[in-house]
Amino acid sequence: MTPIATILIVDDDMEDQELLREAIKEVDKSVHCFSAKNGEEALDMLHTLHKLPQLIFLDLNMPRMNGKVFLTRLKQLGLLNDIPVIIYTTSKMEIDIQETKQLGARQFITKPNSFEEIIRIVAVLLSAKTSV
Protein backbone atom coordinates (compact mmCIF):
# COMPACT_ATOMS: atom_id res chain seq x y z
CA MET A 1 0.00 0.00 0.00
CA THR A 2 1.45 3.31 -1.09
CA PRO A 3 1.17 6.27 1.28
CA ILE A 4 -0.43 9.35 -0.23
CA ALA A 5 2.37 11.90 -0.30
CA THR A 6 1.28 14.15 -3.16
CA ILE A 7 -2.14 15.39 -4.25
CA LEU A 8 -3.08 17.44 -7.31
CA ILE A 9 -6.10 19.74 -6.92
CA VAL A 10 -7.68 20.77 -10.23
CA ASP A 11 -10.17 23.57 -9.62
CA ASP A 12 -10.64 27.05 -11.07
CA ASP A 13 -11.94 28.44 -7.76
CA MET A 14 -8.90 29.55 -5.77
CA GLU A 15 -10.89 29.68 -2.52
CA ASP A 16 -12.03 26.06 -2.96
CA GLN A 17 -8.43 25.06 -3.73
CA GLU A 18 -7.22 26.72 -0.54
CA LEU A 19 -9.97 25.20 1.64
CA LEU A 20 -9.18 21.71 0.35
CA ARG A 21 -5.45 22.28 0.79
CA GLU A 22 -6.00 23.46 4.39
CA ALA A 23 -8.22 20.45 5.14
CA ILE A 24 -5.57 18.08 3.79
CA LYS A 25 -2.92 19.73 5.98
CA GLU A 26 -5.24 19.43 9.02
CA VAL A 27 -5.48 15.70 8.42
CA ASP A 28 -1.89 15.00 7.36
CA LYS A 29 0.80 17.67 7.34
CA SER A 30 3.16 15.43 5.35
CA VAL A 31 0.98 15.47 2.22
CA HIS A 32 2.23 17.88 -0.45
CA CYS A 33 -0.50 19.61 -2.50
CA PHE A 34 -0.17 21.42 -5.77
CA SER A 35 -2.89 22.77 -8.01
CA ALA A 36 -4.03 23.68 -11.50
CA LYS A 37 -6.86 26.01 -12.46
CA ASN A 38 -8.23 23.85 -15.31
CA GLY A 39 -7.78 20.52 -17.01
CA GLU A 40 -5.46 21.86 -19.68
CA GLU A 41 -3.05 23.29 -17.11
CA ALA A 42 -3.23 20.06 -15.10
CA LEU A 43 -2.36 17.86 -18.10
CA ASP A 44 0.57 20.12 -18.98
CA MET A 45 1.75 19.92 -15.38
CA LEU A 46 1.44 16.12 -15.25
CA HIS A 47 3.58 15.77 -18.38
CA THR A 48 6.43 17.75 -16.81
CA LEU A 49 6.46 16.45 -13.22
CA HIS A 50 9.25 14.15 -12.07
CA LYS A 51 7.00 12.59 -9.43
CA LEU A 52 3.34 12.01 -10.17
CA PRO A 53 0.63 12.62 -7.58
CA GLN A 54 -0.95 9.64 -5.85
CA LEU A 55 -4.38 11.29 -5.95
CA ILE A 56 -6.23 13.95 -7.95
CA PHE A 57 -9.17 16.02 -6.69
CA LEU A 58 -11.02 17.23 -9.80
CA ASP A 59 -13.70 19.86 -10.22
CA LEU A 60 -16.05 19.45 -13.19
CA ASN A 61 -16.98 23.02 -14.10
CA MET A 62 -13.86 24.86 -15.26
CA PRO A 63 -12.91 27.05 -18.22
CA ARG A 64 -10.58 25.94 -21.06
CA MET A 65 -10.87 22.21 -20.25
CA ASN A 66 -13.57 20.94 -17.91
CA GLY A 67 -13.26 17.98 -15.58
CA LYS A 68 -14.91 15.41 -17.85
CA VAL A 69 -12.62 16.22 -20.79
CA PHE A 70 -9.59 16.15 -18.47
CA LEU A 71 -10.64 12.79 -17.01
CA THR A 72 -11.17 11.33 -20.49
CA ARG A 73 -7.72 12.45 -21.64
CA LEU A 74 -6.03 11.39 -18.41
CA LYS A 75 -7.41 7.86 -18.67
CA GLN A 76 -6.00 7.56 -22.21
CA LEU A 77 -2.44 8.26 -21.08
CA GLY A 78 -0.36 5.25 -20.04
CA LEU A 79 1.11 5.83 -16.57
CA LEU A 80 -1.26 8.70 -15.81
CA ASN A 81 -4.20 6.35 -16.25
CA ASP A 82 -3.47 4.74 -12.87
CA ILE A 83 -3.77 7.92 -10.78
CA PRO A 84 -7.00 7.74 -8.75
CA VAL A 85 -9.33 10.67 -9.42
CA ILE A 86 -11.87 11.97 -6.90
CA ILE A 87 -14.51 14.24 -8.43
CA TYR A 88 -14.92 17.18 -6.05
CA THR A 89 -17.60 19.48 -7.41
CA THR A 90 -20.73 21.48 -6.63
CA SER A 91 -22.77 19.26 -8.95
CA LYS A 92 -25.32 16.86 -7.49
CA MET A 93 -26.61 15.71 -10.87
CA GLU A 94 -26.96 11.95 -11.27
CA ILE A 95 -25.81 12.18 -14.91
CA ASP A 96 -22.50 13.72 -13.77
CA ILE A 97 -22.04 10.96 -11.20
CA GLN A 98 -22.72 8.23 -13.77
CA GLU A 99 -20.60 9.77 -16.54
CA THR A 100 -17.58 10.38 -14.34
CA LYS A 101 -17.71 6.86 -12.89
CA GLN A 102 -17.83 5.48 -16.46
CA LEU A 103 -14.85 7.68 -17.35
CA GLY A 104 -12.87 6.15 -14.49
CA ALA A 105 -13.35 8.39 -11.45
CA ARG A 106 -12.98 6.50 -8.17
CA GLN A 107 -15.42 8.64 -6.19
CA PHE A 108 -17.82 11.54 -6.64
CA ILE A 109 -18.05 14.06 -3.81
CA THR A 110 -20.30 17.09 -3.79
CA LYS A 111 -18.45 19.99 -2.16
CA PRO A 112 -19.65 20.38 1.42
CA ASN A 113 -20.73 23.68 2.96
CA SER A 114 -18.48 23.59 6.03
CA PHE A 115 -14.76 23.33 6.58
CA GLU A 116 -15.35 20.65 9.22
CA GLU A 117 -17.14 18.49 6.65
CA ILE A 118 -14.25 18.95 4.18
CA ILE A 119 -11.85 17.78 6.90
CA ARG A 120 -14.06 14.75 7.63
CA ILE A 121 -14.14 13.77 3.94
CA VAL A 122 -10.38 14.19 3.56
CA ALA A 123 -9.77 12.19 6.74
CA VAL A 124 -11.83 9.29 5.39
CA LEU A 125 -10.00 9.39 2.05
CA LEU A 126 -6.55 9.54 3.62
CA SER A 127 -7.20 7.32 6.66
CA ALA A 128 -6.10 4.13 4.98
CA LYS A 129 -2.94 5.85 3.64
CA THR A 130 -3.48 4.14 0.32
CA SER A 131 -3.96 5.49 -3.15
CA VAL A 132 -7.76 5.27 -2.72
Give tens-digit pLDDT for 45-86. Answer: 998 988 889 999 999 999 999 999 999 999 888 777 888 999
The residue extents of the domains of the chain are: 6-112
pLDDT of 20 reads 95
User: What pTM does this model have?
Assistant: 0.90
pLDDT at 60: 96
End-to-end CA distance of the chain: 10
Instruction: Give the number of other CB atoms < 10 A from CB of residue 65.
Output: 18
Q: Which CATH architecture has domain 6-112?
A: 3-Layer(aba) Sandwich (3.40)
- Sheet harboring 85-89: ordered strands across? 32-36, 6-10, 55-58, 85-89, 107-110
Among 21-35, 37-51, 76-90, the minimum mean pLDDT is found in 76-90
The torsion angles phi and psi of 117, rounded to 5 degrees, stand at -70, -35
Nearest Cα residue to 67 out of 97, 47, 22, 45: 97
